[in-house]
Amino acid sequence: MTGPLRIANASGFYGDRADAVREMLHGGPVDVLTGDYLAELTMLLLGRDRMKDPSRGYARTFLRQMEENLATAVDKGVRIVTNAGGLNPSGLADALRELAGRLGLPVRVAHVEGDDLLPRAAALGLPGGALAANAYLGGEGIAACLRAGADVVVTGRVTDAALVTGPAAAHFGWAADDRDRLAGAVVAGHVLECGTQATGGNYAFFERHDVRRPGFPLAELHADGSSVITKHPGTGGAVTVGTVTAQLLYETDSPRYAGPDVTARLDTVRLSQDGPDRVRIDGVRGEAPPPTLKVGLNRLGGWRNEVVFVLTGLGVEAKAALVREQTEAALAARRPAEVRWTLARTDHPDAAAEEEASALLRLVVRDEDPEAVGRAVTGAAVELGLASYPGFHLTAPPGKAAPYGVFEAAFVDAAAVEHTAVLPDGRRLRIGPAPAGRPLADPPEPPLPEPLPPGPVRRAPLGLVAGARSGDKGGSANVGVWTETEDAWRWLAHTLTPALLRELLPETARLPVTRHLLPNLRAVNFRIDGLLGDGVASQARFDPQAKALGEWLRSRRLDIPEALL
């Protein structure tokens, strides 16, 4: 097969735009339609779902989407590949067969399993007490299902890029050692996985494009592993080198982007504009994958509660000190294990609106005992209603204690994971691990570009000369920062060091910060360990997934050469 394979995306997360499946099926030619429904938090939610009902544990919205659109996919010959199976891919596959029978559609459904390691956690040396323990599988099980004639392939926890590497390997006949080709598909898959983030959604320079309703992306994959990222004609948003760069930097770390199929070298990626709303990706090099698979472990961490006090007008610091002292005294008899106060100075002097004159004092408490963060905390806050600072009120009535989750990553020998393709005829095909290389290590840091010559500087926000995108990986956050010109890149590479990042973002001052240079993308990528505590479900900070961390960084002021401004 030498023609391009058109792989489209219709979901970037569980809860994404419901009519995207219809839009992608009707908007233009598509060969394979993918949907990504899983994230670290989603696996915890599905785990709690499965506890209530063992027949659940999959993304039920996908089933509703198929009820409306499966006939169209069959009519157009579009194959569907999705990880909506979550913790119960066989259950979703059965539900799809029942749906196809009810609709009178000749649909061959297959699924991929073996990622669920919870029953074998102890034998594999994984920590106990998890609600979910899932290995990140590669795309070879998907490829096996498609080679066997499946029209719909449902998986559990696979890497996001596997939704693209699997169909590409099946279509082009790639072998496990076609590493550069597989790496190209991994990069295309990473661009597609978050849906409209590749077409202008959440984009640093959003004012340049009409992003009120961005279209979903698709990739035209070629047999050599190169691709073109585009979208259906007439849809909103934009596909530019900038939008694709932003998504490439999202939730990545080292230039060695490891996966179960291949390790893709992000420092070899080349991007070029290939026409309106078309970005070409080529030059990607691949290496052998590491010998281990990542395992996502989700468990309940305890109980949490939150109260937000509103402090209005004068004396904000004194008001905060008073209510904090009063609340701490009320909690002294049974102090929660963790008590955290944060004062957000959202107030403005001489404000014309009351809300603009108000600051927010947030109290977050955690404990293993729900009583310690339940009525004890809400009672302490409510009882101060007539006995504290002037203007006392809360943003909302205090609630009950709520459980919070903890995410932890572990690694197991890839050969110990029973990756299995369950074909449309029911046959079970064991998928062996890809030939592995050595344990992963960061590549040598590339040389810095020539610095800009000295010249006048002006204090200005970083965002005037650089874009950024940030996100979460367990308890770590990543911030990718890129520039659009070579001169700006020369300045950025020499200026935005881990030390300066800690200065600009004081929350990171005492945390390990790692920087990687990506000269082909004119980008630097930072990993900040520990910023997000035990992951998004633990809600360790105001922005628990670090989604806006990059925008905070762009708003910070530093000395920038006037020539760049």
Our measurement of the distance from residue 223's CA atom to the centroid of its chain's CA atoms, rounded to an integer in Å, reads 28
Domain ranges of the chain: 1-10+23-28+179-261+269-287, 303-406, 457-564
Reduced to 3 states (helix: H, G, I; strand: E, B; else coil), residue 272 is strand
For residue 1, is pLDDT > 60? Answer: no
Q: Supply 495's token pair.
A: 């200026």
Q: What is the pLDDT of residue 2?
A: 63
For residue 487, is pLDDT > 60? Answer: yes
Q: What is the pLDDT of residue 560?
A: 98
User: What does the alpha-carbon distance between residue 33 and residue 78 come to, in Å, rounded to a whole number?
Assistant: 7
pLDDT-based confidence at residue 50 (cuts at 50, 70, 90): confident
Q: What is the pLDDT of residue 441?
A: 85
> Are the CB atoms for 281 and 188 separated by under 8 Å?
yes
pLDDT tens for 333-376 read: 899 999 999 999 999 999 999 999 999 999 999 999 999 999 88
- Report the b/e string of 275-294 with b at 16+ CB within 10 A: eebebbbbbbbbbbbbbbbb
Q: What is the pLDDT of residue 540?
A: 85
For residue 313, is pLDDT > 60? Answer: yes
Q: Which residues contact 140 (CB under 8 A, 6 or more apart)?
A: 166, 169, 176, 261, 419, 431, 434
Where do we find the tokens 């915890």? 44
For residue 40, is pLDDT > 90? Answer: no
Residue 194, φ and ψ in degrees, nearest 5: -100, 25
Q: How many angstroms separate the most distant Cα atoms in the chain?
A: 76
| Amino acid code (one letter) for 535 | G
Mean pLDDT confidence for 297-315: 95
Please give the C-alpha separations between residue 348 and each of 71, 315, 396, in angstroms, as whole numbers. 57, 12, 22
Q: What is the pLDDT of residue 51?
A: 86
For all residues of the chain together, what is the average pLDDT?
96
Where do we find the tokens 């070409």? 280
Beta bridge partners of 273: 279
pLDDT tens for 367-410 read: 999 999 998 899 999 999 999 999 999 999 888 999 999 999 99
Q: What is the pLDDT of residue 241?
A: 98
Closest to 141 (Cα-Cα) out of 85, 195, 194, 188: 85
* pLDDT-above-70 percentage for the chain: 100
Residue 153, φ and ψ in degrees, nearest 5: -120, 125
For residue 484, is pLDDT > 90? Answer: yes
pLDDT-based confidence at residue 59 (cuts at 50, 70, 90): very high
Where do we find the tokens 């408490």? 365
Q: How many C-beta neighbours within 10 Å does residue 254 have?
A: 18
Among 188-202, 273-287, 430-444, 508-522, the range scoring the smallest mean pLDDT is 430-444
pLDDT-based confidence at residue 49 (cuts at 50, 70, 90): confident
> Are the CB atoms for 272 and 279 separated by under 8 Å?
yes
Please tell me what DSSP assigns to residue 137.
B
pLDDT tens for 205-234 read: 999 999 999 999 999 999 999 999 999 999
Where do we find the tokens 């947030």? 362
pLDDT-based confidence at residue 41 (cuts at 50, 70, 90): confident
Determine the CATH number of domain 303-406. 3.30.70.380
